[in-house]
Amino acid sequence: GFATIDTDREKRTGLPEVIYASGKTAEQVAQIAERMHQKGIDVLATRATPEMYEEVQKLIPGAVYNPLAKTIIYRESKYENDKGYIAVVAAGTSDMPVAEEAVETARFLGNRVESVYDVGVAGIHRLFHKLELIRNARVIIVVAGMEGALSSVIGGLVDKPVLAVPTSVGYGANFEGVSALLGMLTSCASGVSVVNINNGFGAACQASLINKL
Amino acid sequence: GFATIDTDREKRTGLPEVIYASGKTAEQVAQIAERMHQKGIDVLATRATPEMYEEVQKLIPGAVYNPLAKTIIYRESKYENDKGYIAVVAAGTSDMPVAEEAVETARFLGNRVESVYDVGVAGIHRLFHKLELIRNARVIIVVAGMEGALSSVIGGLVDKPVLAVPTSVGYGANFEGVSALLGMLTSCASGVSVVNINNGFGAACQASLINKL
Amino acid sequence: GFATIDTDREKRTGLPEVIYASGKTAEQVAQIAERMHQKGIDVLATRATPEMYEEVQKLIPGAVYNPLAKTIIYRESKYENDKGYIAVVAAGTSDMPVAEEAVETARFLGNRVESVYDVGVAGIHRLFHKLELIRNARVIIVVAGMEGALSSVIGGLVDKPVLAVPTSVGYGANFEGVSALLGMLTSCASGVSVVNINNGFGAACQASLINKL
Amino acid sequence: GFATIDTDREKRTGLPEVIYASGKTAEQVAQIAERMHQKGIDVLATRATPEMYEEVQKLIPGAVYNPLAKTIIYRESKYENDKGYIAVVAAGTSDMPVAEEAVETARFLGNRVESVYDVGVAGIHRLFHKLELIRNARVIIVVAGMEGALSSVIGGLVDKPVLAVPTSVGYGANFEGVSALLGMLTSCASGVSVVNINNGFGAACQASLINKL
Amino acid sequence: GFATIDTDREKRTGLPEVIYASGKTAEQVAQIAERMHQKGIDVLATRATPEMYEEVQKLIPGAVYNPLAKTIIYRESKYENDKGYIAVVAAGTSDMPVAEEAVETARFLGNRVESVYDVGVAGIHRLFHKLELIRNARVIIVVAGMEGALSSVIGGLVDKPVLAVPTSVGYGANFEGVSALLGMLTSCASGVSVVNINNGFGAACQASLINKL
Amino acid sequence: GFATIDTDREKRTGLPEVIYASGKTAEQVAQIAERMHQKGIDVLATRATPEMYEEVQKLIPGAVYNPLAKTIIYRESKYENDKGYIAVVAAGTSDMPVAEEAVETARFLGNRVESVYDVGVAGIHRLFHKLELIRNARVIIVVAGMEGALSSVIGGLVDKPVLAVPTSVGYGANFEGVSALLGMLTSCASGVSVVNINNGFGAACQASLINKL
Amino acid sequence: GFATIDTDREKRTGLPEVIYASGKTAEQVAQIAERMHQKGIDVLATRATPEMYEEVQKLIPGAVYNPLAKTIIYRESKYENDKGYIAVVAAGTSDMPVAEEAVETARFLGNRVESVYDVGVAGIHRLFHKLELIRNARVIIVVAGMEGALSSVIGGLVDKPVLAVPTSVGYGANFEGVSALLGMLTSCASGVSVVNINNGFGAACQASLINKL
Amino acid sequence: GFATIDTDREKRTGLPEVIYASGKTAEQVAQIAERMHQKGIDVLATRATPEMYEEVQKLIPGAVYNPLAKTIIYRESKYENDKGYIAVVAAGTSDMPVAEEAVETARFLGNRVESVYDVGVAGIHRLFHKLELIRNARVIIVVAGMEGALSSVIGGLVDKPVLAVPTSVGYGANFEGVSALLGMLTSCASGVSVVNINNGFGAACQASLINKL
Ligand SMILES: Nc1ncnc2c1ncn2[C@@H]1O[C@H](COP(=O)(O)O)[C@@H](O)[C@H]1O
Ligand SMILES: Nc1ncnc2c1ncn2[C@@H]1O[C@H](COP(=O)(O)O)[C@@H](O)[C@H]1O
Ligand SMILES: Nc1ncnc2c1ncn2[C@@H]1O[C@H](COP(=O)(O)O)[C@@H](O)[C@H]1O
Ligand SMILES: Nc1ncnc2c1ncn2[C@@H]1O[C@H](COP(=O)(O)O)[C@@H](O)[C@H]1O
Ligand SMILES: [Mg+2]
Ligand SMILES: [Mg+2]
Ligand SMILES: [Mg+2]
Ligand SMILES: [Mg+2]
Ligand SMILES: [Mg+2]
Ligand SMILES: [Mg+2]
Ligand SMILES: [Mg+2]
Ligand SMILES: [Mg+2]
């Protein structure tokens, strides 16, 4: 086969192998999903199109698709982390696909998640209405495009680790997410670290490792 | 001489000719200053070193130096714009040199100015304590380095034009002000426009033209 | 719904909420438009395709489409700012879509607008023919691609604030508007501030706040 | 004074105010340090020169200087986090200043720290000799310049969160740390997040927040 | 015709002329292929689509297509370099198209090739399982995207020249291969040199020249 | 010696060999100058410091230094091109060093030169006062920093070739001349070509070749 | 109409108005072409598709299309410059579209043209076979992608002005022509100036102005 | 001590450990050198200042300094590779420091070296005079700044592997070696691979591994 499943990975890294569907055919995604399923491994595919879901569903009828997150999930594991929840906070409605990728991934990894959307800094009163929910999380994922200012503001308001996800939302001098990325990296608030542009999945992995501590 | 004074400029553009001292010798700055002074033109030199001030003072004893702003000013004009004030808001103490350049320039141009410093978004409660002062201005200059988030937050809280000045404060992925510049240009708030990195002078010119309307 | 309308925004920021149609489906745009319309809010959608207009028109028959500006507008408000007009000046015919976005937005916000097109610096006599119209405006929006030189030239000829809008018009070393953006930011004329590439909407918002002073 | 101490910050963000000495005079650093000391606040200054230390020592004799880390520390707090330790892993000897900044900061914040240096991927056997020490940490800070590959390798070997700090070590196509930054952001391993170039301080802040969970 | 075949090239440069199919029509590729074939020159076309192959096959029935490598090959030459083999090592399955271009080109040039795929540094134990095969090669081509760390790791483990090929695999801060390129250029291991992004062909040419020594 | 003089160059390229003094010691410059002088070759050294001139003068007493242009010249040739003159036009006084390098080089190459300084587009009336002098040249060198708009304006006003020289004059988003360079490359006027940042020498070489036609 | 024809331009700039077809509809191109034709102005449209040509031909049957150059031309003018010819030299076959744009434009402007293709520096003997033809031109346009080395080589071999046109031919680190552009700007040969990426038209305009001297 | 010597490295990688002196004090360099010397390891320090050499010489009197290459060498090994020589070819005299670093390193590693300097493409006849010497090498290192064209030209003339070293020689759009780097990476000649800017050492390491095959 074209891809060997690294079943040992979860023990080694605390994170199971998942399918990054981008650039694969619907058939390839479905085959890998089935192979994992047959070995009793839970399935998560990210960046998955509806066509891919159709193919997967033929082989794994119970699989669930989130069209906003573009995730396919089939999960049998009963593991739930009961230490606390991860907050996923997004600035604008256009950032929601990346935020949802984080939400779905974090849940797949056994975490409780609270999501708070549309609280960008251009109307900062909206953020304050949700501050308690954010402050009570154990880890906070902040998803924002354009200037990415939200992670700085939240970083200065909470005493928990903030994981910032820049998105490619915006145009012109946004440079497909570079502006948000740079803003988050040079954040004037401490306690903020950053993952790649649009990488909701990666932020959720990191948040899950932290939430298990 | 090496530089012709454009006395007509004020009538044409609403802004007088001033001395950009960077790259000139102390003697050159002093000579230009004196020539202007002799023609009855008020003198503003920006990016001026203490050495330059020493030379200017020999020729124009009443000239005043602001070492933080790095401005030399000699002003005889009695013109005061009484329509309202310009607020100059700075994120961190390291942004103060640029903010002070804006303050000195705006006053030189006949404007009333209120300055509000050290209200960066990493401790956003500080901003709210000063919000009324900011909201009551006719124009707001926002000076910030690192991720430049302050202009987005203020832009979303006021109904007056915001002029954003990115500063080169920061290091690493800050790229000498580029991160703040990009953040301000892609601001999620409307009513924000931007001038060049560290250009407190330019922001004050624009603010002064607006404040005269 | 997927987007909460921020009805309070106008009071807070002097600018109403509008629909940024890019990345939304025709149905989504139409639904948001209708919801606003039902609450008695005037509707402006920017970056709207003809398909979106078709959907909006089914629900709001009086809505008007400007295919060059790509705006959908339904306006009942009677407010007209009578202090003076905003001039929208564009360098080339290819810059007209961005200029028209500015014109439509400025009118939607209650401003009188005069537009002056095709006066780029490669044939600078054209600009001089229109100089009086430009000089008599209270605020001037300058829209230009390629090297963006027009804002420097106009900035040196008028005593009113100039808002520069770089456009992505050009190719090669133009880098989708970056050359014009950098040129405008480093303008040798004072009294010029800049918004994001192609952001005619943002320039009009800023101009409207200024024109109300 | 020129800088207001944000004593409330620790309660709000879990991280106390510290002195970022870069760009300040030795006298300014000493004065701020003394003011904090008099209020009973522990003192940490980063990016501090030997001259600054001399001034601080005059006022706070017990202050300790780490010339590699360029930190000045005076700590009275008895707080020690006993949940486990933070590992600080550095690729090359030139990365040690940044690593030491992280070590000093993490200890100042009450954490136990184990440091592992000179284990870059060009001689990967060195890393394997220290793997147990790294694996048994609760959080791992990885400091590396040039291509920044070390965070990917470690990220694939441990089940704990990895915080990657790119350094400006290198030359040419290293672009003062950009290559390492990009490498770390696009890491093929999950469970890795990134802070600004050379920001050992920031990584330690984040690690400390995580280690307290 | 539109392209003159440089039959003399092989003698001059040790490398025959081949067809770079990208940007050519299927007909053009087929015509050039046939013209070469008629002169008794072996045919290699890179970046070839299935449509191109169809056209070539009509004229040269024995031509073979590798859809992953996107190469069309017709080879009559009997030359086989018997000094040793070239190892082509790829980090992830998405890097395989570039790796296969290298494999096909190297074989076309008369070299023995061993390929080792899916041994990226995020699971470095996989690499160690294949280390002997890699170490026994005379030249090693390392193909990797994202942060390109694999060439540093291998460079530190072998005493043979490593040719690194960055790929455009990845997204966001990967910048279509720039991150891998920079990582490979600034590699902390010696004995590594680099070719253009995705240039499996070029790496194989260089490897073949080396393998003939 | 460390540098072989290419005496044949002038015949081959129409341009003699000259000394690029940057990065050489005063002694090296003087030695090369003397060697050329002894062979009867005219001497031009660019980017030369006063210290270099001192050394050269010891060996070639008649050599002349232009401290603004930073050129050392010793010319015995009687050749004067009498077809017409080259105009060297500079935007601001800070652009004069580059403009003077062009002037000195062009004269050294036997051309008549007219220089027109301080006619930047921020006060465009100044340009019109000098337009006849510019229009009557056979070739026009335009030297400008910041946004480099002057070459577009002149390009649209004259029917002669314009050679644009971007300068590094400016700060912030000027990026040491990149903004002017990009502006000149994307000029909306035809008949403009560009040389490297600050390369007054190169523009004069090209202008001289053209002026000889 | 949407575009005013600047009939005065030729007198002012030595270059007539032409149609830049990119971004216009076939109908718009045809209408502008006809309007020019009716006024007795010769027609040149660049970047024109076959569809545009079809529309133009309906209105101006004698118009001629060059599909490689993507130019539409209708020329009645009898003017022929008899001073000498322009050489258009291209490195690779993929650079031919840009070279042909230059050829067609130069002929349209009344110049004699000799074209020399496929003489890139990777097989430099090809260049030497054509050197006399190149050397005897009055101006030389050099068109090259990838590293753009051809203009340096030719610049060192001829005593005539070289106009370099970088093309976007290449991939990866070519960055759509930036590598060739930078290479040409920093050319080690004097007597080379540069136009925008792919701007065969602009090079021909400049060459024509020069060739008329 | 601050640096552990990796004595095993030579066996593992074919390349011994050497001292990269940049960023170390003269004392540190001398101490590491002596420690290596005492263990019987040959010493090579690159990027070494005269002050460092003074310190080293006190401890290892026989050490030799090359001030152009900035290398300190003490070599007792008798190993000489007798298979053939490495050619080090440099474009301009300013590229000689990097070329000499390559020469010294290659000799230190036991290779015979022939160096060919000042054969840049702006006077290509110089290259042809030396072509036999270059062609007869087993590996060719090409060192060039500015546009880096020399590696393309040589790559097209020889049937041996070419290792290209871009240098930071140049100014303006040269961007401290980036232009040469990009030019070499996108070279139109095959059989060329590239190392980091100014990395003469790295090129020699790679060349030495190849020359041993
Ligand atoms: N053309 C435009 N460019 C930038 N921002 C815009 C534009 N049009 C609308 N906006 C902003 O986008 C907001 C709506 O975004 P959304 O909630 O995603 O529809 C508006 O309230 C404006 O502040
Ligand atoms: N090395 C460092 N890198 C980045 N930020 C730092 C560093 N050291 C201190 N800081 C931050 O800078 C703040 C102090 O800045 P200032 O008020 O300018 O002294 C501290 O409270 C930290 O949040
Ligand atoms: N995948 C590739 N990447 C880069 N260069 C290639 C590739 N394949 C072929 N080439 C080069 O392109 C030349 C053919 O170019 P062309 O004449 O345009 O077909 C060949 O002789 C090779 O030197
Ligand atoms: N200001 C300058 N900018 C760019 N190139 C120059 C300049 N001055 C001289 N040159 C070129 O540099 C060559 C001399 O370089 P060198 O052999 O290093 O002294 C001259 O022959 C010119 O071609
Ligand atoms: Mg915090
Ligand atoms: Mg606002
Ligand atoms: Mg003005
Ligand atoms: Mg991990
Ligand atoms: Mg090795
Ligand atoms: Mg012209
Ligand atoms: Mg020449
Ligand atoms: Mg070759």
DSSP state, residue G169: -
Picking from B174, B106, B170, the residue whose alpha carbon sits closest to that of residue B141 is: B106
Q: Is residue B72 predicted with pLDDT exceeding 80? A: yes
Largest CA distance in chain D: 53
Q: Let me know how long chain D is.
A: 213
Select the residue of B157, B159, B201 nearest C209 (Cβ to Cβ).
B159
Task: Indicate yes or no: CB of F183 within 8 angstroms of CB of C178.
Answer: no
Select the residue of H118, H123, H172 nearest F196 (Cβ to Cβ).
H172
Q: Which two tokens stand for residue F87?
A: 């105009």
b vs e for C116-134, b when ≥16 Cβ sit within 10 Å of the residue's Cβ? bbbbbbbbbebbeebeeeb
User: How far is residue B97's CA from residue D199's CA, in Å, rounded to a whole number?
Assistant: 24
- Residue D18 C-alpha to ligand 5 middle, in angstroms? 14
E62/chain H closest Cα distance in angstroms: 27
Report chain C's mean pLDDT, rounded to a whole number: 94
State the alpha helices, DSSP H only, in chain E.
Answer: 9-13, 26-38, 50-59, 96-108, 125-129, 131-135, 150-155, 178-185, 200-211
Task: Indicate yes or no: CB of A206 within 8 angstroms of CB of D192.
Answer: yes
**Residue nearest (by alpha carbon) to ligand 1 atom 15:** C20
- Residue G159 C-alpha to ligand 11 middle, in angstroms? 5
Between strands E162-166 and E71-74, the pairing is unpaired
Q: Is residue E6 predicted with pLDDT exceeding 80? A: no
Chain F adjacent subunits, 3+ CB pairs under 8 A = B, C, G, H
The per-residue pLDDT for range C173-202, each reduced to its tens digit, is 999 999 999 999 998 889 999 999 999 999
CA dist B23 → B20, B48, C134, F70, F123 (Å): 8, 10, 35, 16, 21
User: How far is residue A31's CA from residue A42's CA, in Å, rounded to a whole number?
Assistant: 14
The per-residue pLDDT for range B103-126, each reduced to its tens digit, is 999 999 999 999 999 999 988 999
Q: Is D46 in the pocket of ligand 2 (CB under 6 A)?
A: yes
Q: Measured between CB atoms, does C189 come within 8 Å of chain B?
A: yes
DSSP state, residue E146: T
Report chain F's mean pLDDT, rounded to a whole number: 94
Output the pLDDT for position A110: 97
Number of the ligand closest to the Cα of G187: 4
CB A162 within 8 A of CB A190: no
User: How far is residue F184's CA from residue F148's CA, in Å, rounded to a whole number?
Assistant: 6
Q: Measured between CB atoms, does B23 come within 8 Å of chain F?
A: yes
Q: What is the ipTM of this complex?
A: 0.94
Report chain E's mean pLDDT, rounded to a whole number: 94
The per-residue pLDDT for range F89-136, each reduced to its tens digit, is 999 989 999 999 999 999 999 999 999 999 999 889 999 999 999 999
> From the alpha carbon of A190, which atom of ligand 2 is closest?
23
> From the alpha carbon of C17, which atom of ligand 1 is closest?
21
User: How far is residue G133's CA from residue G136's CA, in Å, rounded to a whole number?
Assistant: 5
- Give chain B positions within 8 Å (CB) of F173: 178, 181, 196-197
The better pLDDT of the pair B51, G6 is held by B51
Output the pLDDT for position A151: 96
Output the pLDDT for position E1: 38
Output the pLDDT for position G3: 55
User: How far is residue B67's CA from residue B59's CA, in Å, rounded to a whole number?
Assistant: 19
Output the pLDDT for position C4: 61
Q: Is D45 in the pocket of ligand 2 (CB under 6 A)?
A: no
CB E147 within 8 A of CB E179: yes
Task: Indicate yes or no: CB of D174 within 8 angstroms of CB of H196.
Answer: yes
Q: Is residue F163 predicted with pLDDT exceeding 90? A: yes
Three-class secondary structure assignment of D77-111: CCCCCCCCEEEEEECCHHHHHHHHHHHHHHHHCCC
**A99: pLDDT confidence band, cut at 50, 70 and 90?**
very high
CA angle F52, F55, F61 (to 5 degrees): 115
Q: Is residue C59 predicted with pLDDT exceeding 90? A: yes
Output the pLDDT for position H4: 61
- Residue B67 C-alpha to ligand 2 middle, in angstroms? 24
- Average of per-residue pLDDT across G51-73: 98
Best of D15, D18, D44, D47 to mutate for ligand 2, by most ligand atoms within 8 A of CB? D18
- Non-local (6+) Cβ contacts of B62 within 8 A are B74
CB A83 within 8 A of CB A112: no
Q: Is D47 in the pocket of ligand 2 (CB under 6 A)?
A: yes
Task: Indicate yes or no: CB of E146 within 8 angstroms of CB of D186.
Answer: yes
Three-class secondary structure assignment of D51-69: HHHHHHHHHCCCCEEECCC
Q: Is residue E59 predicted with pLDDT exceeding 70? A: yes
Count the neighbouring beta carbons within 10 Å of the beta carbon of residue C38: 10
Picking from E145, B169, E143, the residue whose alpha carbon sits closest to that of residue A196 is: E145
- Average of per-residue pLDDT across B85-114: 97
Q: Is F202 in the pocket of ligand 4 (CB under 6 A)?
A: yes
**D30: pLDDT confidence band, cut at 50, 70 and 90?**
very high
b vs e for D27-52, b when ≥16 Cβ sit within 10 Å of the residue's Cβ? ebbbbbbbebbeeebbbbbbbbbeeb
Residue from B94, B118, B121 to probe the interface with A (highest A Cβ count within 10 Å):
B121
The per-residue pLDDT for range D38-65, each reduced to its tens digit, is 999 999 999 999 999 999 999 999 999 9
Between strands C64-66 and C71-74, the pairing is antiparallel
User: H/E element holding G114?
Assistant: strand G112-116
Q: Measured between CB atoms, does H169 come within 8 Å of chain D?
A: no
The better pLDDT of the pair C200, E122 is held by C200
CA dist B14 → B76, C163, F42, F95 (Å): 17, 16, 51, 25
Q: Is B118 in the pocket of ligand 2 (CB under 6 A)?
A: no
Q: Is residue B1 predicted with pLDDT exceeding 80? A: no
- Give chain A positions within 8 Å (CB) of C4: 118
CB B211 within 8 A of CB B138: yes
- Non-local (6+) Cβ contacts of E128 within 8 A are none
- Give chain H positions within 8 Å (CB) of E158: 12-14
Output the pLDDT for position D1: 38
- Average of per-residue pLDDT across A154-182: 95
Place of tokens 């027009």: C150
User: How far is residue A112's CA from residue G92's CA, in Å, rounded to a whole number?
Assistant: 59
Output the pLDDT for position G5: 65
Q: Cα D35 to chain center, whole Å? A: 24
Picking from B71, A157, B124, B168, the residue whose alpha carbon sits closest to that of residue D22 is: B168
Output the pLDDT for position D2: 47
The per-residue pLDDT for range B181-211, each reduced to its tens digit, is 999 999 988 999 999 999 999 999 999 999 9
Output the pLDDT for position G188: 85
User: How far is residue D186's CA from residue D149's CA, in Å, rounded to a whole number?
Assistant: 10
